[in-house]
Structure 1
């Protein structure tokens, strides 16, 4: 009896493995691609953190680990906190391997799109960012907010594929000083 139960369990486990295993470790049965090891948002910073400063650059440093299984195709950055709408120089978006302090090879950007309704940028790479790469994305607002305060930017990354499953990496936080918040006028 014990052997029969054991055989049934082993048979069911084998059947479930065959039925539930996708054709690739990075695809669901619905052909949705995803990262098997998640990328990480390492740092978010600005070249100037004073209110009203024109032409700053906001840097987002992301690590795509070697075990991620898929290359990164595009990123969505959405303002989630802060009182003002920011306007960007979309054609001045940059990306490079490494960090702002240790820049490497440039990464080509295919497009940078702005969605005014959701206050989000979608940056698509011309060449995919391969696993094992740490890179930095630089976006250029026309100016910092008029008034000081904390601004939060949600960062979501998407793997290559026709049906990618986005992975939310968390919020990047920038603190601007000066203006109507009463500090450093």
Structure 2
């Protein structure tokens, strides 16, 4: 599960929070988290404490990682795309967002699991667009930085050739 390193700018983080907030209110969830495959959160909303959200994010990532091994045992190429835990009072739904991120929704018994899944699919598309946009912007910036560095080195070489021994 590696979408590659993605650096989210302030604009991306704001859009992620808005997406998660919409999902939280529509799904009647307790908490909604967006994290990388290692469990590092990039967005989180809901009624859990920061410590509990971090723990939930990490545990969801670990559970999802376990499904990769299960999929291999069953001969499936790649990981499962969804993970669902159902309890009497609360349930947790986790969905892959691309190849390196997870969307996790914790919700109470009054929420409808089918609706949560449908809303999560919509949010996943929106989050994937944000991830791709952030990755594309980071790649453009890397190319610009490389060009700037090469230009600087080239310019320094030309100046040294024009003015030898003047450093």
Q: Would you say same fold, with TM above 0.5?
A: no
TM-score, length-normalised on structure 2?
0.28
Q: Which has the higher helix share?
A: 2
The answer to which structure, 1 or 2, has the higher relative contact order (CA under 8 A, 6+ apart) is 1
**TM-score scaled by structure 1?**
0.26
Select the structure that is richer in strand: 1
